[in-house]
């Protein structure tokens, strides 16, 4: 859609509505920006502070999760170490029991051995 503005002296130049709409929007945007410059700066700082707090909370949460994960790993390693120690002791006891049993059997065999000649 095209029209001729009243202030235009040369009727052969045509101004498009989209161009005028852009000028109108820009002028309103600039006026609002000038009027609310103080409030926008305070609101932007409030937004910045909110984002800062959010980042700090996230960092704190990550640190806590990391600490918890490390504690869990530490406990798991300790448990594994205890299990290995227990297994080693059990094997040692089993070996001692086996040696005692073999020694006893050998003693019994020698004690009850009869020469057939």
User: Taking the domains of the chain in order of start, what are their residue ranges?
Assistant: 1-35
Report which of residues 13 and 80 the model is more confident about: 80
C-alpha separations of 67 from 35, 55, 59, 63 in Å: 49, 18, 12, 6
What does the pLDDT read at residue 6? Answer: 56
Residues 87-96 have a mean pLDDT of: 95
What does the pLDDT read at residue 116? Answer: 60
What does the pLDDT read at residue 1? Answer: 46
Mean pLDDT over all residues of the chain?
Answer: 78
> Is residue 14 within 8 Å of 26, Cβ to Cβ?
no
Instruction: Report the C-alpha gap between 95 and 88 in whole angstroms.
Output: 11
Instruction: Report the C-alpha gap between 91 and 108 in whole angstroms.
Output: 25
pLDDT tens by residue, 44-57: 888 999 999 999 99
How would residue 30 be classed by pLDDT, with cut points 50, 70 and 90?
low
């Amino acid at each position: 859609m095209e029209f001729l503005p009243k202030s235009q002296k040369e009727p052969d130049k045509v101004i498009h509505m989209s161009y005028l709409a852009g000028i109108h929007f820009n002028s309103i945007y600039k006026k609002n920006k000038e009027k609310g410059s103080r409030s926008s700066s305070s609101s932007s700082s409030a937004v910045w502070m909110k984002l800062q707090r959010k980042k700090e909370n996230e960092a704190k949460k990550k640190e806590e999760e990391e600490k918890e994960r490390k504690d869990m790993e530490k406990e798991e390693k300790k448990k594994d170490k205890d299990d290995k120690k227990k297994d080693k002791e059990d094997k040692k006891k089993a070996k001692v029991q086996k040696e005692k049993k073999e020694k006893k059997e050998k003693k019994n065999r020698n004690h009850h051995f009869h020469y057939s000649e």
